[in-house]
A = this chain, B = another copy of it.
Amino acid sequence: MYSKGQQAHTMSKIHSLRKTHLPVAQNASGRNLNVPVYHIKGSQPGPRVYIQSSIHGAEVQGNVVIYHLLQQLQDQAICGEIVLVPNCNPVGTNIKAGEYTLGRFDPVNGTNWNRGYYYDEQAVHRFADTVSADDSTDAIKTAFRQYQADHIAEKLANPWGLGLAQQLNLRLQQMAVDADIVLDLHNGPVSTRHIYIPDYARHAAMDFNIPHCIFIPNVFAGALDEACFCPWWTLTDALRDRLGVEHNFSVEAFTLEMGSQEVIHFGEGRIDAHSILAYLNRRGVLADCEITPDSMTRVGVSLSDYKTLYTDWGGMVEYLARPGDVVQKGQPLANILNIDELDNARGHQQLLAPCDLIPILHFPSASVLSGTQLYKVFTHYHTLSE
């Protein structure tokens, strides 16, 4: 007993849609594991956009967001190109351990699926040495893209090979390296919506409908957004230092956290897609589009004020403070049950907020060992305004 939820997607007159499949891995049966790639080519020139979802296999809401983007883009006139890659990790999506998806790391060796992208700071400086003061921004941009693409291709051609996560990451990055705009769609464990924004592009906080914003420095820790913005940020700084010239390469990359893992929700996905359209419209990707960011309260923190609260005890936990709540110092965050102490007061204790904070996400299981990331929280946060 099935019904189709939506009209079939008809080919738009104002842009073209093409679907391909890219092999990114091979399983023990010797079979290719592919990612679907949806290419939208606008009828007018404009930015190149790259959007992927589910590099962490249990973080699936982004797939629904891409579904809705494809629906909502049907009627839009597009300037430039948009490449959409849902479910970009066919290995991580399909590793079950119990009823849940063990999607955050390679089950063979623990490697986080989002830490193997390419960035080489020294290579950026070597490139900067080749730039002249009179080179145009466009010429530099074209040359630097090729330079990065060559390095990624070279890594992939390593005669000794590469680990699975890194192979996967680099093949995806080959599609992202040409983009002006890169959006990597994630989820937290149990989480409110939030976004990581490179500090140089902090104005972008006002362009999405996402209430919680984390501003991050020019530091590479392996993730796609960093791999996409660090080179351009570093190059911009290097050219300013070397040549005294200010180039604006207009490349932005963000990690969007679309709520909680292990869950898809079509209704929220429609809203998330709308938020992304508002941003894309501000960047000139949509012609004759009226979608603008909502007027809403947004709060921001520096990455150094985005704290992880680890347990130094094991036990069972009721999460009292919900993601997005405003919590004052001393208010309860969690109830803790200790099953060996049910006959005395240690059987039930409360964990209190060590300072004013907003919980952004919490651990998704009641059962925690010592050293568990119980909550990640905003501290010293501030309200953002245009």
Chain A residues with a Cβ under 8 A of chain B: 1-9, 17, 19, 21, 25-31, 36, 38, 57-58, 60, 63-64, 66-67, 70, 84, 86-87, 90-91, 93-112, 159-168, 189, 262-266, 307-318, 330, 332, 335-354, 363-373
Contacts and interface: CB of A to CB of B under 8 A. Distances in A.
A19 B343 contact: yes
A174 B188 CA distance: 34
A108 B105 CA distance: 10
A25 B342 contact: no
B99 A105 contact: no
Nearest to A90: B29
A107 B101 contact: no
18 contacts: A4-B345, A5-B350, A6-B347, A7-B345, A8-B345, A26-B313, A26-B369, A28-B316, A29-B315, A60-B316, A63-B337, A70-B343, A104-B109, A161-B310, A163-B310, A163-B373, A164-B370, A262-B365
Contact of A96 (B8, B17, B84, B95): B95
Contacts of A5: 335, 348-350
Given A9-B343, A99-B364, A28 B66 contact: no
Contacts of A67: 337, 342, 347-348
Given A107-B98, A161-B371, A93 B28 contact: yes
Given A1-B353, A316-B63, A368 B337 contact: no
Contact of A338 (B1, B30, B344): B30
Given A167-B312, A350-B3, A96 B105 contact: no
B38 A264 contact: no
Contacts of A371: 25, 161-168
Contact of A342 (B36, B163, B348): B36
Nearest to A332: B3
A26 B165 contact: no
A97 B98 contact: yes
A354 B30 contact: no
B342 A70 contact: yes
B366 A25 contact: no
A108 B101 contact: no
A139 to B, nearest CB: 35
A311 B161 contact: yes
Contacts of A343: 9, 17, 19, 38, 70
A99 B363 contact: yes
Given A29-B87, A97-B98, A6 B345 contact: yes
Contacts of A163: 310, 371, 373
Contacts of A161: 308-312, 371
A370 B26 contact: yes
A100 B364 CA distance: 7
A370 B28 CA distance: 8
Contact of A367 (B60, B91, B106): B60
A288 to B, nearest CB: 23
A99 B189 contact: yes
Given A25-B370, A30-B315, A370-B25, A9 B345 contact: yes
